[in-house]
Each structure stands twice: as structure tokens, then as C-alpha cells.
Amino acid sequence: MPQATRDIQRRIKSVKNTKKITKAMELVAAAKMRKAVAKVLATRSYADLAWNTVLHLVKKLDTSRHPFFRESKEVRNVLIVLISTNRGLCGSFNLQLVQKVVDSIKLHHPDTRVTDVITFGSKGRNEARRHHLNIMADFAKEDITQSSTIINPITHMVVKDFIARKYDKVFVAYTDFASSLQQQPHVRQLLPIVPEIDERLGYITHQKEKEIVNINVENFSDFLFEPSRKEILNSFLPRLVEIQIFQAVLESEASEHSARMLAMRNASDAAGDMIDELTLAYNQARQAGITAEIAEISAGTAALQ
């Protein structure tokens, strides 16, 4: 019995140490989450309004000749930019994202000949390999993205291959940040730009002079181009794709830290429950040992009498 109580004590000590680690990781993830969420909220309105402006532009002008708006009659080759994480301990974050990509391919483009993937994040790359996806390029990802310049190589490759007609459609797969408790895997079409590709953007809400203002881009007037429509589109549209990929990276990072914070909180709670169960088992074992010793003493006393 003493051996059993010592083993339980070791387990209690081990679980307590684990709980300290998970609690510390939860606090670190919470601090990173607050910074990531601040970045997301600071750029989301601009990214959404820029995207919605271009969608409105498609309805107002004839843009069918521009390569960014060109739709293929038959979709055969698809490119997906997969934005994931570099670190684990965030639950099924990357698994759900890759599974969303696989399901979207099977549902919307089951007849594609080639589905290439550009991975941005080592965990998503490893998960994509396990699902036998064709990885054509892998880019190193920082834990916290400080600038949009890190997205430039990805944007350059995406735009170059699409204009060269290597791919009929380009998507970006990321985890959309809704709140600290809700993150949704999302696969979004980047190219070609057509009005029907995004139903999430109708009205854009932003803060102005402490009042919430709703902007409906359908009320915008006609567009004026200076110096020319071609020059403006050729310089602006690649930048727009870069903005959308960068915003997806920020959304993914906020979702990652939120998921890790929640996972570490659940781990800390589970460790607390395990400590309670082990403490109860220890007390029961200790009480059983004391009872057995008392019984032996009583039996010895009775034998002497």
C-alpha cells in the first residue's frame, strides 16, 4: 500500500507540472491572440471594401478582356493557396482546414485534372501530404506576420501562373476568425474575379467618428480612370490579390492563437480534473492503509490477550 500511495503522489506531481505548462501556454496564446485580433480588425474593412469595389466594377464596366476577369468554359487546372500554422497544440485546426479543401475540390471541381497547392505553414504542408495533395511550392511562414512583403513571392507566383493560363481558377484556403470561440475553415476564390464568387461581402461596416456607418457599394457612382483603365487595372489588381492573401494570413493567425488558447485552457481544466481524481484515489489508498494497520494492531492485541 505505501508503494501505491507513492506512485499516486508522483502522478499528482507530474500532472501539476503539466498544468503549470499548459496554463502558461494559454496566457501566451491569449496575449498573441489580442495582438493578432487587433491587426485583423484594423485591416478587414479596407480589404473587404477594396474587394467589393472591384466586384461592383465588374458589374459597371466591360472587363471580360482583362486576364484577371477571364472565366474558362471548362475548369481543368486549379491552384489553392493553403494558409496554415507552423506550430501545433491548437487542436484539429490544420486537419479541419485541409479536410475543407479536400471536400471543396470533390464538391465543386470533381473533374479537375490538376489541383496544385501552395502551402504557407509547415503543419498544413504535412497535413496536405497525408491527404496526398500535390504540393507545387512551400513558403516559410513566420509565427507573427509583421508586413505584407512576406506575401509578395506568393502573389507573384499566383498572378504569373494565372495570366499564363496555367490555372483556370485560384483559391485561398484559410481559417476565418469570427470570435475567440469560433473559427471557420474557408475556401475562397481569388481568380478569376467574378461578382458571384463571394456572398459574404454585401455591406461593409466600419467605425467612423464613434458611429457605425454601413457602406453599400451598389450606390457608388460610375468610375473614372486616370490615366487609363488598362494601366489602373494592371497596377491595382495584383495589389488587390496581395491584399486578400495578406488578410487571409491575418485571419488565420488570429484563429490559430484563439484555437491554441482554447486548447490549452481545456488541457488545464482536464489536468485539474485529473488532479482531483488522483487526490481522491490517494486519500482512499491512504485511508485503506491506515485501516489495515489498525486492524493488524487490533488482531495482535487480541492474540496476546
Residues 109, 115 contacting (CB under 8 angstroms): yes
What's 155-177 look like in SS3? Answer: HHHHHHHHHCCCCCEEEEEEEEE
Is there a domain that residue 122 lies in? Answer: yes
* Tens digit of pLDDT at every position of the chain (305 positions): 566 788 888 999 999 999 999 999 999 999 999 999 999 998 898 888 888 888 877 777 777 778 888 888 888 889 999 999 998 888 889 999 999 998 888 877 777 777 889 999 999 999 999 988 889 999 988 878 888 888 899 999 999 999 988 898 999 999 999 888 888 998 988 988 887 654 443 333 333 333 444 555 555 556 677 777 778 788 888 899 999 999 999 999 999 999 999 999 999 999 999 999 999 988 888 888 778 778 777 777 777 77
Range of the domain at 123: 26-261
Cell 467618428, residue located: 209
By DSSP bridging, strand 169-179 and strand 134-139 are: unpaired
As given in the structure block, the three cell numbers for residue 290 are 491506515
Is there a domain that residue 157 lies in? Answer: yes
pTM of the model: 0.81
Is there a domain that residue 191 lies in? Answer: yes
User: Which amino acid does the sequence have at 51?
Assistant: W
Give the per-residue pLDDT at 73.
Answer: 81
Is there a domain that residue 268 lies in? Answer: no
Is there a domain that residue 19 lies in? Answer: no
Indicate the number of domains in the chain: 1
Give the per-residue pLDDT at 25.
Answer: 93
User: Which amino acid does the sequence have at 106?
Assistant: K
Give 86's DSSP letter. Answer: S
Question: Any idea what the CATH number is for the domain that residue 184 is in?
Answer: 3.40.1380.10
Is there a domain that residue 129 lies in? Answer: yes
In 3D space, the residue among 267, 237, 93, 262 whose CA is nearest the CA of residue 170 turns out to be 237
As given in the structure block, the three cell numbers for residue 238 are 495584383
Is there a domain that residue 75 lies in? Answer: yes
Is there a domain that residue 266 lies in? Answer: no
Cell 453599400, residue located: 216
Question: How many other C-beta atoms lie within 10 A of the C-beta of residue 39?
Answer: 18
Give the per-residue pLDDT at 222.
Answer: 64
Residues 178, 258 contacting (CB under 8 angstroms): no
